[in-house]
Amino acid sequence: MSELLVEAQGLGKAYPKVHRSSDRLRSLGRLLFSSRGAERISVLRDVDLQIRRGESLGLVGENGAGKSTLLKLITGVLTPTTGSVRVRGEIGALLELGAGFHPEYSGRDNVAMAAALHGLSGTELRERLPEIIDFADIGQYIDEPVKHYSSGMVVRLGFAVIATLKPDLLVTDEVLAVGDESFQKKCVQWIENYLAGGGTLILVSHSMYHIQKLCRHACWLRGGEIAMQGDVFDVTQAYLAYHERKSASVAERREIAQAGVEFSVIAVAVNDDESERPALLELGDALRIRARVRSRDGRTPGVMVGIVRADGTAVYGTSTEIDAVAPERVAEGEYLCELQLDGLPLLPGSYRIRVHPMDTEGVRIFDTIERSFVVRGASREFGLVRLAHRWNHVCANGSGS
């Protein structure tokens, strides 16, 4: 069994209640003169967590659930109110945007300070500085004060320093949500290589795509407590289902608002399941999307179906109008159609289905319903889809077979 790198037992954090400026004086007075101490608000409670070397853990939860507080306790930025946490190794942390950078100093000077704080000598810094600057890829801004940087440039610089140091434990909080797409891809590729080399990761993100792509385990925090932890797909699917249940009342109001719309979606079933749970597919499974559409005046609607990756990247789309088919009339003002994709070539990841009813002519879209699904499987291929391929044997004369 691999070495235990992070161990938290009964971990908790509470702050004095200070909604108004007068509360600060009241809290100070209670600390000095009352045996009860100051009134406190608990933001994290009874967290038990173990992370072994080489593991990757995704932290998920709503804003205010305690994710950032937990990271700060693990990295030593905060001290716990209750319980304990122990880390056996060097930590590389990217928490609050720009934390640790002096805004008046240049990027180059901040890199030097960060390197010194991590124990690098002057010689080691000179050797690694070109690598850091190349990874950050911010051009001439490396010699400009950090206060002139955009949020994305700050993240580029911070991640470049951590990437060069290769710590035992990498801790990141929504870093991938700030940088541009090309830098996100660079960071994801670096993290994958880091994990393949035995690194350990704690990742906080609201992107279930990144959590599922980079992490094998997940922990869901809700209201400062652990709601669930375990396999990344089990936890993230439960978390997504929780949000879908929360939005049920919103969906009801939406249906009322759409009562006068010409065409609207009544229900969508993914592989015969009309529930809001994300559908779970294995690599190469068939995908069936069945849509029931309401037509206000009885005209036959068109239906468009699209598939996007969890980050919004378009994958595929078609419609009944494009394929010259018509939904079937199943009741007064109700129509049904089903699209089947056999041997789905999508690579493992999280995806969304978008269903849109259209007018008879296939020109105007009236409504949008989304359903999530996850493709699971063991694959190290890159991109969105698995393309049929083979490697040919090439002879010395250049001919193939």
CATH no. for residue 342? 2.70.50.60
According to DSSP, the β-strands at 302-309 and 328-331 are unpaired
Distance (Å, rounded) from C-alpha 116 to C-alpha 128? Answer: 12
Per-residue pLDDT, 145: 92
- pLDDT-based confidence at residue 286 (cuts at 50, 70, 90): very high
Distance (Å, rounded) from C-alpha 82 to C-alpha 112? Answer: 36
| Domain-embedded: residue 381 | no
Residue 106 pLDDT more than 70? yes
Same-domain pairing of 103 and 124: yes
DSSP string of 234-283?
Answer: HHHHHHHHHHHHHTHHHHHHHHHHTTT-SEEEEEEEETTB-SSSPEEEET
Instruction: For the sheet with 349-358, list strands across it.
Output: 279-282, 369-376, 349-358, 302-309, 314-319
Same-domain pairing of 281 and 227: no
| Domain-embedded: residue 46 | no
Per-residue pLDDT, 95: 76
Q: What are 328's strand-pairing partners?
A: 336
Q: Which of 228, 243, 258 represents a domain boundary (last residue)?
A: 243
Per-residue pLDDT, 398: 61
DSSP string of 147-173?
Answer: GG--HHHHHHHHHHHHHHH--SEEEEE
Residue-wise pLDDT for 337-377, tens only, equals: 999 999 999 998 888 899 999 887 777 888 888 888 888 88
Helix (H) or strand (E) segment spanning residue 30 = helix 21-33
| Domain-embedded: residue 213 | yes
- Look-up of token digits 């600060």: 24
Same-domain pairing of 259 and 112: no
Per-residue pLDDT, 119: 78
| Domain-embedded: residue 400 | no
Token pair in block for residue 173: 């909080």
| Domain-embedded: residue 322 | yes
Distance (Å, rounded) from C-alpha 215 to C-alpha 208? Answer: 10
Beta strands in 276-382 (DSSP E): 279-282, 287-295, 302-309, 314-319, 328-331, 334-341, 349-358, 369-376
Same-domain pairing of 340 and 229: no
Residue 104 pLDDT more than 80? yes
Cα separation values, 264 from 94, 220, 307, 373, Å: 45, 34, 19, 22
Per-residue pLDDT, 298: 87
Residue-wise pLDDT for 120-145, tens only, equals: 888 888 888 888 888 888 888 899 99
Q: Rounded mean pLDDT of 148-176? A: 84
Residue-wise pLDDT for 308-330, tens only, equals: 987 778 899 999 988 999 999 99
Per-residue pLDDT, 341: 94
Report residue 371 CA to chain centroid gap: 17
What are the backbone angles phi and psi of residue 244, rounded to the nearest 5°? Answer: -70, -35
Same-domain pairing of 69 and 162: yes
Max Cα-Cα span within the chain: 91
Residue-wise pLDDT for 208-260, tens only, equals: 888 888 899 999 999 999 988 998 888 887 887 777 666 654 555 455 445 56
| Domain-embedded: residue 34 | no
Distance (Å, rounded) from C-alpha 327 to C-alpha 249? Answer: 29
Same-domain pairing of 223 and 272: no
Per-residue pLDDT, 237: 79
Cα separation values, 80 from 11, 63, 86, 240, 303, Å: 7, 20, 11, 30, 55
Same-domain pairing of 107 and 206: yes
What are the backbone angles phi and psi of residue 156, rounded to the nearest 5°? Answer: -55, -45
Count Cβ atoms below 10 Å from residue 201 Cβ, excluding itself. 21
Beta strands in 53-110 (DSSP E): 56-60, 82-87, 91-94
Average pLDDT, the chain: 84
DSSP state of 386: P
Same-domain pairing of 326 and 371: yes
Per-residue pLDDT, 253: 44
Q: Which residue has the higher pLDDT, 152 or 201?
A: 201
The structural domain count of the chain equals 2
| Domain-embedded: residue 32 | no
Residue-wise pLDDT for 51-82, tens only, equals: 999 999 999 999 889 999 999 999 998 999 99
Per-residue pLDDT, 27: 57
Residue-wise pLDDT for 6-56, tens only, equals: 999 999 999 876 555 555 556 555 555 555 555 678 899 999 999 999 999
Q: Which of 218, 243, 268 represents a domain boundary (last residue)?
A: 243
CATH no. for residue 117? 3.40.50.300
Q: Which of 190, 216, 243 represents a domain boundary (last residue)?
A: 243
Q: Is the dihedral of CA 133, 134, 136, 141 positive or negative?
A: positive
Same-domain pairing of 266 and 215: no
143: containing domain:
4-9+51-243
According to DSSP, the β-strands at 169-173 and 200-204 are parallel
Same-domain pairing of 162 and 238: yes
Same-domain pairing of 266 and 333: yes
| Domain-embedded: residue 169 | yes
Report the percent of the chain where pLDDT is more than 70.
86
- pTM of structure: 0.61
Same-domain pairing of 118 and 195: yes
